[in-house]
């Protein structure tokens, strides 16, 4: 957890994001079309990798954020 929005998102569904917070950036990407497209295709594409580089997070961080969202949705 890197900010109050990350902490809130870990507790339950949360829509808030802080710019320049790596946790929020990873969570935002995990909810977006680029991650969905690549997850559905089963492979990363150039556009997605470029987004990760631009934002400064890793694919592993995005996957972890998606898993937290998934856990919270079923809790």
Q: Select from 33, 39, 38, 28 the least CA-distant residue to 65.
A: 28
Question: In this predicted structure, what is the pLDDT of residue 64?
Answer: 95
Size of the chain in residues:
75
Residues of the chain with pLDDT under 50: none
Question: In this predicted structure, what is the pLDDT of residue 1?
Answer: 56
Cα–Cα distance, 41 to 14 (Å, whole number): 27
Question: In this predicted structure, what is the pLDDT of residue 26?
Answer: 96
pLDDT, tens digit (0-9, with 9 covering 90-100), for 44-65? 999 999 999 999 999 999 999 9
Q: Where are the domains of the chain?
A: 19-74
């Amino acid at each position: 957890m890197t900010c109050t929005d990350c902490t809130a998102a870990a507790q339950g569904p949360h829509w808030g994001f802080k710019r320049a917070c790596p946790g929020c950036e990873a969570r935002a990407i995990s909810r977006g079309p680029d991650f969905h497209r690549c997850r559905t295709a089963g492979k990363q594409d150039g556009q997605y990798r470029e987004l990760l580089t631009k934002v400064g997070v890793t694919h592993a961080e995005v996957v972890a954020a998606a898993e937290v969202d998934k856990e919270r949705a079923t809790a």
